[in-house]
Structure 1
Amino acid sequence: MNSAKSAFHALHHADRPLLLPNAWDFASAAALAAAGFGAVGTTSLGVAAAGGLPDAAGLARDETVALARKLVRLPCPVTVDIEAGFSADPAQVADLVVELADFGVAGINLEDGRGDGLADPATQVTLIRTVKRHAPGVFLNARTDTYWLGVDASVPATLDRARRYVDAGADGLFVPGLAAEKDIASVTAAVPVPVNVLHLPALGLDRLADLGVRRVSTGSLLFRSALHATLTTALAVRDGLPLPVGIPTYAEVDALSHQGATPG
């Protein structure tokens, strides 16, 4: 396991939960790395929407790989959301993860959501096992969409899937939509790998740590916030209102592109 991959694994066992911000292009990821975040992830919604594609439809493979190739220049571990793997063939998904690992990606998210439903657990187990067999050093964050899609949204159903995925080799469990404190505590107590939840405004990192959470993702929040800031600024220009404070300068943004660049 290379240093970036081992460092990323270790971040899930630190004193506080890993706060993982999710980027959608190189500039957003570089800004987050420059701000001192220990690792950067990608948001599938942001990557897909920026490319004019719907999220979770399995259409953004090329955009995801192209972005990942750029992000590994950054001075921190990178984990990539690959939706459901962009293929129904476990071997093809494993080939994708091997490709990502070969150029330095430290982790992936791999979800069991399939449109409006969930993958058969046995099918997802085969997928996870195949990926881990071919790319054992990559941190595989197994996402289950029981709560996110409102399908079998209960602790017992979630734990049934979680245990199967962990037995298949998953390094972490991601349960987006899991929000009730008692449910979070029940899941973290029963799962022997780091549990990941989405940022919850009502629960800070310290409280989530008390509940046993080891990783907190921003998901699509930063991308959606950036769209809001874009519209807010454009409307301010149109309507003659003051511009928002804190806008980076041209030079500051241009400097981000030089992070990790190899001299020609």
Structure 2
Amino acid sequence: MSAFADLHHADEPLLLPNAWDHASAHLLAAHGFRAVGTTSLAAAAAAGLPDGAAATREETLRLARTLGPGPFLLSVDAEGGFGDDPDEVAEFARELYALGAAGINLEDGLGPADRHAAKIAAVRAAAPGLFVNARTDTYWLADGEDTTRRLDAYVEAGAHGVFVPGLTGPREITGLVRGLAGVPLNVLHSPAGPSVPRLADLGVRRVSLGSLLYRRALGAAVEAAAAVRAGRGPKGTTPSYEEVQSLSRRNRGGSGGTASPG
């Protein structure tokens, strides 16, 4: 866990891009991102399942199995741990750690704070080497009023860092940072919120991109198809067939076979 934890205490905040498959994760790593997260929306959408409904336990494990051996530190978005039983969540975390994950993100979904704290404590006991990022949805699903009480409970239970998506106000961020007394605060990047340098000035230690890259990729795919249909060339960066193919070859340590672009 130390290498991943250290990224939360570096000179700059950890900017964590979230991947959805082997190619996206390895391409991000090739562009200098030392750590990569997963996004639960992508895991769910790829399987035609709803996000945040505890429906993608196996899909999340499958993705971790694919990405765990990669040349980057992996943090897995595990929704609420795919169950209410702390022991079951702990077993899931143990499996992730065995697959090579360095961190896990667990969200409370505004369920009981004591139940989420019990999950955190169980995960810490079952997988001591796993960085536990405890997410509260007080700004995501509510008005933010209960944030401090929940974060205090999660830190007391053993969370290494805390995540408050939807939090963008500089005053509120500063207040939370002061109250956390050195525990890394993670926020979700918002195009309408403070920039990464501004978040750094406010004391934020981790900035996640969440499902942004996945949604941008979907949008770019539709835009490209529509452009071709309209007789135009697609705009933006397009990796070559060989560039994408090389990501798989590098992972397998071989030269790979030849195939027609498809």
Give the Cα–Cα distance (whole angstroms) in 2 for the partners of residues 33 and 51 of structure 1. Answer: 25
Partner of 2:113: 121
Give the Cα–Cα distance (whole angstroms) in 2 for the partners of residues 242 and 127 of structure 1. Answer: 50
Identity between Structure 1 and Structure 2 (%): 54
Give the Cα–Cα distance (whole angstroms) in 1 for the partners of residues 130 and 104 of structure 2. Answer: 7
Question: Which AA in structure 2 matches 1:198?
Answer: L
Unaligned stretches of 5+ residues in structure 2: 257-262
Give the Cα–Cα distance (whole angstroms) in 1 for the partners of residues 134 and 73 of structure 2. Answer: 18
Alignment of 1:112-261 (within 5 A): 112-113=108-109, 118-150=110-142, 152-154=143-145, 157-192=146-181, 193-201=183-191, 202-261=193-252
TM-score (norm 1): 0.93
Question: Which AA in structure 2 matches 1:145?
Answer: D
Shift of 1:73: 2.2
Are the structure 2 counterparts of residues 7 and 112 from structure 1 closer, same or farther at C-alpha, using a change threshold of 3 Å? Answer: same
Deviations 1:36-60 (A, max 9, x none): 1020000101111111111000001
Question: Which AA in structure 1 matches 2:71?
Answer: P
Residue 15 of structure 1 pairs with residue 11 of structure 2:
yes
Is this contact kept in 2: 1:162–1:173, CA < 8 A? yes
Unaligned stretches of 5+ residues in structure 1: none
Question: Which AA in structure 2 matches 1:191?
Answer: L
| Structure having greater relative contact order (Cα 8 Å, sep ≥ 6) | 1
Cα-Cα RMSD? 1.3
Deviations 1:213-260 (A, max 9, x none): 000000010000000000000001111112213211111111111343
Question: Which AA in structure 1 matches 2:115?
Answer: T
Residue 68 of structure 1 pairs with residue 69 of structure 2:
no
Partner of 1:93: 89
Q: How many residues align?
A: 253
Give the Cα–Cα distance (whole angstroms) in 2 for the partners of residues 166 and 218 of structure 1. Answer: 23
Secondary structure of 1:257 counterpart: helix
TM-score (norm 2): 0.93
Shift of 1:262: 5.0
Partner of 1:106: 102
